[in-house]
Amino acid sequence: MDMKILPLSGALGAAITEVRLADLAQTEFNQIHQAFLDYCMLVFPGQFLSIDQHVAYAERWGSFSISPFVSYLDSHPCVLPLFNRGKDNAVTENWHTDSAFLTEPPALNILSARQIPVGGDTMWSNQYQSYDRLSEGMKTFLHGVRAEFTGARLASLVGSDTVPATFHPIVRTHPETDRKSLYLSKPEDSVPRLEGMTPAESLPLLHYLYQHSIQPDNLYRHHWQNGDVVMWDNRCTLHYAVHDYGEQTREIHRISIKGSIPR
């Protein structure tokens, strides 16, 4: 049967069915690639990929991105197991973009659901729309402005005194679509300041842009099912992993694909 692409919200996201990621023809991959650029995040229900199949599919998208402070599978050093650390240690329960403290942050992430609890939804926000909705005056003001991105949350999780940090444009241009998007993470610990400014001077604007980006009509919320494969563009979205599942088991494998220096 022909591949089916169903939009999931007015803001972003599409479900793709009638396809097997473990056995993709090149023409099918090309369709998925274009849908990915069009919808920013994709859901493939009922895939139930093995780890090797997950890795093989991810390899079609580029080189693997490896982040510090987290532990990958010994058998597959590109596969990060995500599991229930408890709500107090849930560092992803905020709106963020992954590993923005790296010089070349991940371009995209591919998750394979292995054991899903009741709850544990993930939400995404379209950062193209967040930028487009700004006033022309604010767009002009933000042109060329860079923010400091740090790995403080991950460093605190493992008790490290070393906190990686780098500066990236707060408005970035997508290397494939050439569209502009806001590029943010949670203010204070993840984005403490704008370049050349103090935190006190920076945070009012950072908080405004952060809240501006996560309005309800800019979001998609995914209810996970076992076997789901979900992928998203880390260059033009924010995401938030909800921890509302207590002590239940939650096992999802993540593979990240290396991106370029944000411009």
Quick count: other Cβ atoms within 10 Å of Cβ 14?
20
Return the structure tokens found at 172: 């970035």
- 2: pLDDT strictly greater than 70: yes
Q: Are 39 and 218 in contact (CB under 8 A)?
A: no
Task: State the pLDDT at residue 156.
Answer: 84
Residue with tokens 């403080």: 152
Task: State the pLDDT at residue 200.
Answer: 98
What's the rounded Cα separation, in Å, for the pair 260 and 100?
11
Mean of per-residue pLDDT scores for the chain: 97
What's the rounded Cα separation, in Å, for the pair 227 and 130?
31
Residue with tokens 């998609």: 220
Q: Is 134 or 159 the better-scoring residue by pLDDT?
A: 134
pLDDT tens profile 14-25? 999 999 999 999
Domains of the chain by start residue, with CATH: 4-258 (3.60.130.10)
DSSP state for residue 187 in the 8-state scheme: B
- List, in sequence order, every beta strand (DSSP E) within 21-163: 41-44, 80-82, 106-115, 122-126, 146-150
Q: Put the strands of the sheet holding 146-150 in their side by side order.
A: 165-169, 146-150, 193-194
pLDDT tens profile 71-118? 999 999 999 999 999 998 888 999 999 999 999 999 999 999 999 999
pLDDT tens profile 172-210? 999 999 999 999 999 998 999 999 999 999 999 999 999
One-letter identity of residue 223 = H
- 1: pLDDT strictly greater than 70: no
HSE, CB side, 13 Å, CA atoms: give it for residue 66.
7
- 68: pLDDT strictly greater than 70: yes
Query: How far, in whole angstroms, is CA 244 from its chain's centroid?
Result: 20
